[in-house]
Amino acid sequence: MDWCRYRFRSVWRLAAPPDAVYAVLERAEDYPRWWPQVREAVAHDDTTGTARLRSLLPYDLVVTVAARRRDPAAGVLESALHGDLEGWARWTLTALPGGSGTRALYEQEVEVRRPLMRALAVPGRPLFRFNHALMMRGGRRGLAAHLRRGRRPV
């Protein structure tokens, strides 16, 4: 087992249609508005940007994100990640039965490149996984609230 490699999978159920969820997720530069652990997101052009992430642990991760697939019809957003994390991340959105909302599947496969995380790979692994889980929980809550605010009449 390579202790510096991680696979993550999260499923969020959201009370908004897939096209509305997709429209928010494709605007990565706006993530800091609703995802507390995404501290900064800067677009470089239409397909690349940089993000600074920080959850419970007292360190930031900086990644360059490059779009690999944007398919609104299929509900797929996939990006390559470079920097403190090397790998990929993908959102796959599907409608819930009866039009009751969206199932948002987040998958990520990365290798940590940050020297401290590599040095602490074995003893820190449970804490790094917990830290990621907290980040995803914050993202789910933030996105759900953002979507609710976006659908309120003015």
The domain spanning residue 101 has which CATH number?
Answer: 3.30.530.20
**Terminal Cα distance for the chain, rounded:** 53
pLDDT value, residue 151: 58
pLDDT value, residue 154: 37
What is the domain count for the chain? 1
Look up the domain containing 90 and give its range.
Answer: 5-151
Q: Is the pLDDT of residue 136 over 50?
A: yes
CA dihedral 137, 142, 145, 151 (to 10 degrees): -120
Do 35 and 139 contact (CB within 8 A), yes or no? yes
Q: How confident is the model over 38-77, as pLDDT tens digits?
A: 999 999 999 999 999 999 999 999 999 999 999 999 999 9
Mean per-residue pLDDT for 111-128?
94
Mean per-residue pLDDT for 12-35?
97
Q: Is the pLDDT of residue 152 over 80?
A: no
